[in-house]
Amino acid sequence: DVKVTQSSRYLVKRTGEKVFLECVQDMDHENMFWYRQDPGLGLRLIYFSYDVKMKEKGDIPEGYSVSREKKERFSLILESASTNQTSMYLCASSGGPGTDVVLETQYFGPGTRLLVL
């Protein structure tokens, strides 16, 4: 089974702190994604990466950066956390060797609920 893990289930940080959210997948997936989920808004894509050291902005990249130094690990960084970044953050991966790009499924981690005070 595909396994996507996130470093924390719950985090409480103060405004202005630098926050690191880590995501690791164990299925040799090419693509990794970071989303945030807020009530009534659904999932919104922050950044995604389709290869090591490659990254693309999603719909709401402002205030975030990402790092993909190794294929299995995709980090989301909040340089200076703000209260409007309080949210559920979900990591996903997709696209193993030989996958049909059109029909690939994204596999999600359990999520990190971040509270910024």
Residues of this chain that bind another protein (CB under 8 A)? 31, 37, 40-45, 48, 50, 58, 88, 90, 92, 101-108, 110-111, 113
Cβ nearer to another protein, comparing 75 with 112? 112
Q: Is 27 helix (H, G, I), strand (E, B) or coil?
A: coil
Q: Supply the minimum distance, in Å, between the C-beta of residue 53 and another protein.
A: 17
Under a CB-based contact definition with an 8 Å cutoff, are residues 93 and 29 in contact? yes
Q: Supply the minimum distance, in Å, between the C-beta of residue 16 and another protein.
A: 26
Q: Supply the minimum distance, in Å, between the C-beta of residue 104 and another protein.
A: 8
Under a CB-based contact definition with an 8 Å cutoff, are residues 35 and 90 in contact? yes
Dist CA 21 CA 73 (whole Å)? 11
